[in-house]
Amino acid sequence: MTGTTWKNAQPAAALQGAAAVLLLVLGAWQGIVAVASEEGTQRLRPVLNIDSFFSGRLTGAVNTVLAHDLPTDPLLRAAGGVFRYNLFGSGGPQVRVGCDDTLFLTEEFRPWPHAEAAMAERAEGVRWVNAALAARGIALAVAVVPDKARVKAAELCGAPRSRQADARHDAFLAALRVEGIGPIALLPALQAQEARGGAWYRTDTHWNQEGAKAAAAAIAGALHEAPLSRAEDYRTTLAAEETDGPGDLLRLMSLDHVPNALRPDPDRQRLERSEAPGGGGGLLDETPAPEVALIGSSYSVNANFHGALQVALRSTVLNAATAGGGFAGAAATYFAGASFRQSPPKLVVWEIPERVVAQPLTQAERDFIRRW
């Protein structure tokens, strides 16, 4: 190497060395902050002992902290989401981007192994629950929520669904009928609302407020002979200002905290709230137990569906649904709880999302079914 080449190489080598040191310092800083964070401390506290050190559990816990709690992790995820969406029109592994930035959960598109057996087992479980409730004089109404991709098929822009996914809705309704359950098919009402102006949020996996009202009206119409007093009046009010919709699919794309120019525009809405006039009275009021209990998934806790159902039924509804409840998560919790034992309703409305019925049963679901 000549003297001139050596002199030219020195600044480049120094710059590379400085960059390497900076990266090492940045990495060390992120690791220290992650380990010292509240989340990191909670993960590590149970394994801060000599046995965990020698068994490798401490090392595994540290790796978990470094994989999930780095300070720059949200920023890196957001950068990746912006890159995927703006350069390739992709929503990542969990989200499919359709026409006009309509987003869909990829879970609605895929097939599942042994889907027919899973649907049959779930339908049989519903029959057992229905029989047990009927023995206590309690009616059961089962409402199946169709996939967003089914209702908004026009916005798929040619995105293929599996043949199993196409047939899943009608197949599960047929499986319920085989077990003697007459399900409430919400699809016609939601398709009609979609044609009138939309039944689903564009950037969220759930129905919007108009879709929720259409579903509630369909359920109430199917239950016109249910033994309810229908003596309650509910008032629906709108928020004064328009705000962004829930946008859970933007969150799955890691685009929930980036400027609108870099992501699909969020839905906008004025939040609705339905409640009885007077707000329920004081602590000493003796109000009757709700005649209706609602069990189900996040569809039942979003978009004022619970309130819309109370309006449509003119009856107080206990909302025992849980986000992420899937097929039977809320049902298992509610039927095992004190509320059901001490104040059983006249009617249980069981809301079931189509997209979960063909998935392999979890052990918790099998335990719930066997309980009956």
Q: What is the pLDDT of residues 350-372, one digit of tens each?
A: 999 999 999 999 999 999 999 99
Strands 272-275 and 235-238: antiparallel
Q: Is the pLDDT of residue 99 over 60?
A: yes
> In 146-194, which ranges are E strands?
184-185
Q: Is the pLDDT of residue 35 over 60?
A: no
Dmax (CA) for the chain in angstroms is 98
Alpha-carbon gap, residue 291 to 155, rounded angstroms: 39
The answer to whether the beta carbons of residues 203 and 245 sit under 8 Å apart is: yes
Q: Is the pLDDT of residue 2 over 70?
A: no
244 to 86, 91, 274, 282: CA distances (angstroms): 21, 19, 19, 34
Q: What is the structure's pLDDT at 283?
A: 44
Q: Is the pLDDT of residue 21 over 60?
A: no
Q: Is the pLDDT of residue 72 over 60?
A: no
Q: What is the mean pLDDT of residues 171-195?
A: 98
Q: List the domain boundaries for the chain.
A: 3-71, 101-371
Average pLDDT, the chain: 87
The answer to whether the beta carbons of residues 130 and 87 sit under 8 Å apart is: no
* pLDDT tens sequence across 229-258: 999 999 999 999 999 999 999 999 999 999
pTM of the entire structure?
0.81
* pLDDT tens sequence across 203-233: 999 999 999 999 999 999 999 989 899 999 9
Q: What is the structure's pLDDT at 117?
A: 98
Q: What percent of the chain has pLDDT over 90?
A: 72
